[in-house]
Amino acid sequence: MRIDVLGVGFDNLTMDQAVAEAQRLIASPDSHYIVTPNPEIVELCREDKSLLETVNAADMVLPDGIGIYYGAKLLGTPLRARLPGIDFAAHLMDAMAKKRQSLFLLGAKPGVAERAAEKLRRAHPGLLIAGTADGYFKDDARAAETIRASGADVAFVCLGAPKQELWMAAHAGETGPCLLIGLGGCLDVFSGDVKRAPVLFQRLGLEWFHRLLSDPRRLGRMMKLPRFMLHVLREK
């Protein structure tokens, strides 16, 4: 059962449950995709019905970030946990490493995915990297075929929102039995190109504030956050 936050249905799971569900999807012979919406994406979904349908059609919808968590709470339907996409990815890679499963990294500027692969291999011994490709490709079918040919169990699709959600929905059928996960700017963090907020900021739910301080160009995008809160209050 999903918890509705302004039209987007979020799976109400703990981290362990989300990882177990991802493993179930990996074991199934079909392709699947997981989305990790934040308030910005929920606002985009409010403006674009087909994006909303794409997000809600995902096999798992995880609440990335504090805004969704508080939004659900304010609406009287609290979520069990907030599951930042990057933390979910780390937990899943631990589980994958134990089973010697393989991962494809798609996205970010040229060179970033390769650097991320090196670091992830070291951080999760046993994890197999099936391949990498940057996120500025022109040929969608070829990118999907590269994932299929790699035989990866899982692919992190890091093209930014809403590009990655639309790409996964359109091409999941071409990637073979692979679990696609939309993870925004995660590869930039895994590669070490972008520093994640200090743990204290993460604990206090202020990661978004740290991101704003380190990249003030995000201000325009972040104006969606107060709008999201306003819409939640109106809905309440």
Cβ count near 109 (within 10 Å): 13
Backbone angles phi, psi at 121, to 5 degrees: -60, -40
What does the per-residue mask of binding to ligand UDP show for 111-150, with x meaning CB under 6 A? ------------------------xx--------------
- Work out the burial of residue 122: count CB atoms within 10 Å of its CB; fewer than 13 is exposed, 13-18 middle, 19 or more buried: exposed
Query: 157: part of which helix (H) or strand (E)?
Result: strand 154-158
- Which of the ranges 17-25, 89-97, 106-114, 168-176 carries the binding residues for ligand UDP, by CB under 6 A? 106-114
Q: Does 108 bind ligand UDP (CB under 6 A)?
A: yes
Site for ligand UDP in 66-85 (CB under 6 A): none
Cβ atoms of 135 and 23 closer than 8 Å: no
Beta partners for residue 104, in sequence order: 131, 155
Q: What is the DSSP string of 70-129?
A: HHHHHTT---S----HHHHHHHHHHHHHHTT-EEEEEESSTTHHHHHHHHHHHHSTT-EE
Nearest distance from C-beta of residue 46 to ligand UDP, angstroms: 17
Nearest distance from C-beta of residue 1 to ligand UDP, angstroms: 26
Total binding residues toward ligand UDP, as defined by CB under 6 A: 14
Query: In the complex with ligand UDP, which residue's Cβ is closer, 70 or 156?
Result: 156
Site for ligand UDP in 3-62 (CB under 6 A): none
In order of 37, 110, 124, 188, 206, the CA distances from 167 in angstroms are 15, 19, 27, 19, 29
Query: Which of 109, 142, 195, 203 is the binder for ligand UDP (CB under 6 A)?
Result: 109
Nearest distance from C-beta of residue 124 to ligand UDP, angstroms: 20
Query: Which of 188, 208, 224, 231 is the binder for ligand UDP (CB under 6 A)?
Result: 188
Nearest distance from C-beta of residue 136 to ligand UDP, angstroms: 5
What does the per-residue mask of binding to ligand UDP show for 155-184, with x meaning CB under 6 A? ---xxxx-x--------------------x
Nearest distance from C-beta of residue 183 to ligand UDP, angstroms: 7
Give me 103's structure tokens. Answer: 């991962």
Q: Is 205 left (phi over 0), alpha (psi -120 to 50) or beta?
A: left
Give the Cα separation of 39 and 163 in Å (integer).
Answer: 16
Interface residues with ligand UDP (CB under 6 A) are 107-109, 135-136, 158-161, 163, 184-185, 187-188
